[in-house]
């Protein structure tokens, strides 16, 4: 077929594409892409063979809204390999599993926009560097300026460990207004394996400066929006619901944030961190769980040193358990600095219970309300781990919190702090809290095994509804407690 060489827009039908889907149209698409800066795909059904099509630099391909692309059952690979400054817009892409991805970006490719795609069974986009290992990935061989928006991806059969959108070793990119359902993972960034490459907080984070906002991720089998070894990752205004693993998660990341997201039911946590992180902020998120066993917030670290897991801030969020019982925000690994402040918790307790050698913990100005009945005695704020790291003194502040329980069972405690230090004594400040509805308002426990070291407590200016402070001494050395200026629920001063 003769095509005008001066033509600026090519129609794949002019190159012999079959809109009935009976014949393979890969060769026609290849010719159209090679000869035109803009390629149009009219309504119809087109059959393409994976791993066969390259979109040259500065070429765009536009699919009609009713254009459908199908691949052979059991095939795998990519449909379009982008070489830079490309646009892929519109169309419906159908495959029987996630073995096929529509857009592939590999190497030093920049400026790719993917918009308004609908993917049934297949994935939207994947990126990777021209490098086989983390150590060899660098800016000059990695993708940049990738944008994915207004796409829909609905999973079917899951064969890969990838996500609907996988951002491998890329930078300066944005993902927004997409809807993802029933894939293994929703949106993933990857700048190295935090379990291997990120053992030190000083290791290079090779995925950076990503904006992920306004997306919906629902009913995924593993993670909703998460990633490993990133820096400057901003996750905002997304809705993430029903994840078989975690909803929003930072693994080995530095200077990242999750803000203003609506999150519900992650089996292993709505908001989480894994491994060595620094400068992680969770703020203004709304988190809900419908099952008590699902954590609303959790720190996971295996056996990492707290020196390499620092500055985690959880502020201004709402955490709600609607199971009819009491859920938890919790931790399961060491960290050095944690700020948990100005959050609203309904039927959710704060459970920092691991023997994890904390350094600096601040639990300030939170509001905790319990109107569900716990099956057993409840502790609203429970800090029961070792607080000193090496020869560094731990410092725990629990201040300005409002804690109210309406149906607490016998033995329930408002605030409990346990110190069990061995190498350095901790400083614990419990002050200006208002506690109502518990059998014991505040309990402190020293359980350390060093005859020369014990914690020091300041319990001051609290309003104690039951007027009950209990001091436990189960360690070798007694703690030092300054109990001053506290009041009963009626406003009467309590003895110092």
pLDDT digit string, tens, across residues 40-96 = 999 999 999 999 999 999 999 999 999 999 999 899 999 999 999 999 999 999 999
Q: How far apart are CA 194 and CA 204, in angstroms?
A: 11
Greatest CA separation found in the chain?
A: 99
> What tokens were used for 306?
């707290």
The owner of tokens 């033995």 is 411
Model pLDDT, residue 195: 84
Which residues have C-beta within 8 Å of that of residue 490, sequence separation ≥ 6?
none
| Average pLDDT for the chain | 91
Helix (H) / strand (E) containing 119:
strand 118-121
Mean pLDDT of 142-154: 97
pLDDT band for position 248 (50/70/90)? Answer: very high
> Under DSSP, is residue 309 helix (H, G, I), strand (E, B) or coil?
coil
- Alpha-carbon span 207 to 253, nearest angstrom: 9
C-alpha distances (whole Å) from 328 to each of 278, 285, 298, 381 are 23, 16, 9, 10
Between 494 and 307, the higher pLDDT residue: 494
Q: Tell me what pLDDT residue 220 has.
A: 97
Lowest mean pLDDT among 133-137, 188-192, 251-255, 263-267: 133-137
Burial 9-28 (b: 16+ CB within 10 A, else e): ebbbbbbebbbeeeebbbeb
In a 3-state reduction of DSSP, which class is residue 276?
coil
Closest CA to 35 of 61, 74, 66: 61
359 vs 322, more confident: 322
Alpha-carbon distance of 119 to 156, in angstroms, equals 10
Nearest partner of 62 among 117, 24, 133, judged by Cα: 117
pLDDT (tens digit per residue) in 273-285: 998 899 999 999 9
Per residue in 461-487, pLDDT tens? 999 999 999 999 988 889 899 999 999
- Which of 131-135, 224-228, 368-372, 418-422 shows the lowest per-residue confidence on average (mean pLDDT)? 418-422
Mean pLDDT of 107-135: 95
Q: CA-to-CA distance for 233 and 297, rounded, in angstroms?
A: 19
d(C-alpha 336, C-alpha 305), whole Å: 9
The pLDDT value recorded for residue 387 is: 58
At 3, the pLDDT band (50, 70, 90 cuts) reads very low
pTM for the model stands at 0.94
d(Cα 147, Cα 387) in Å, to the nearest integer? 44
Closest CA to 233 of 173, 185, 179, 287: 173
Q: Are the beta carbons of 39 and 90 closer than 8 angstroms?
A: no
Tell which wins on pLDDT, 216 or 387: 216
Q: Which residues contact 104 (CB under 8 A, 6 or more apart)?
A: 78, 79, 80, 81, 82, 125, 126, 127
């Amino acid at each position: 077929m003769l095509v005008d060489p001066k033509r600026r827009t090519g129609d794949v039908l002019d190159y012999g594409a079959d809109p009935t889907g009976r014949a393979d149209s890969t060769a026609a698409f290849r010719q159209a892409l090679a000869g035109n800066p803009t390629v149009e795909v009219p309504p119809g059904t087109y059959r393409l063979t994976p791993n066969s099509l390259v979109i040259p630099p500065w070429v765009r391909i536009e699919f009609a809204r009713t254009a459908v692309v199908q691949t052979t059952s059991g095939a795998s690979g990519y449909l379009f390999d982008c070489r830079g400054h490309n646009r892929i817009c519109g169309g419906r892409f159908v495959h029987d599993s996630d073995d096929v991805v529509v857009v592939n970006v590999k190497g030093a490719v920049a400026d790719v926009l993917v918009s308004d795609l609908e993917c049934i069974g297949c994935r939207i986009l994947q990126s990777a560097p021209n490098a086989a290992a983390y150590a060899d990935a660098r800016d000059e061989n990695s993708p940049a300026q990738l944008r994915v928006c207004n796409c829909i991806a609905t999973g079917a059969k899951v064969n890969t460990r990838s996500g609907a959108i996988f951002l491998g070793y890329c930078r300066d990119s944005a993902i927004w207004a997409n809807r993802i359902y029933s894939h293994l993972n929703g949106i993933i960034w990857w700048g190295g394996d935090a379990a291997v490459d990120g053992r030190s907080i000083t290791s290079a984070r090779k995925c950076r400066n990503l904006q992920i906002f306004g997306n919906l991720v629902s009913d995924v089998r593993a993670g909703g929006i998460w990633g490993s070894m990133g820096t400057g990752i901003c996750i905002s205004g997304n809705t993430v619901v029903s994840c078989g693993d975690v909803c929003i998660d930072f693994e080995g990341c530095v200077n990242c944030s999750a803000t203003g997201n609506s999150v519900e039911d992650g089996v292993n946590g709505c908001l989480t961190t894994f491994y060595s992180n620094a400068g992680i902020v969770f703020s203004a998120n709304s988190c809900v769980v419908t099952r008590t066993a699902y954590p609303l917030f959790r720190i996971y670290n295996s056996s990492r040193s707290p020196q390499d897991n620092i500055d985690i801030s959880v502020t201004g969020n709402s955490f709600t358990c609607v199971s009819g019982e009491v859920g938890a925000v919790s931790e399961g690994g060491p960290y050095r600095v944690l700020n948990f402040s100005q959050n609203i918790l309904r039927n959710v307790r704060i459970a920092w219970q691991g023997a994890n050698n904390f350094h600096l913990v601040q639990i300030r100005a939170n509001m905790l309300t319990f109107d569900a009945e716990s099956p057993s005695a409840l502790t609203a704020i429970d800090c029961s781990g070792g607080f000193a790291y090496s020869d560094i003194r731990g410092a725990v502040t629990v201040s300005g919190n409002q804690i109210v329980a309406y149906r607490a069972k016998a033995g329930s405690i408002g605030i409990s702090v346990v110190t069990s230090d061995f190498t350095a004594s901790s400083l614990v400040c419990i002050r200006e809290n208002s506690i109502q509805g518990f059998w014991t308002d505040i309990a402190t426990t020293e359980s350390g095994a060093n005859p020369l070291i014990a914690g020091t407590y300041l319990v001051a200016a609290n309003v104690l509804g039951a007027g009950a402070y209990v001091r436990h001494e189960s360690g070798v050395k007694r703690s030092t407690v300054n109990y001053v200026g506290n009041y009963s629920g009626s406003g009467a001063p309590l003895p110092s």
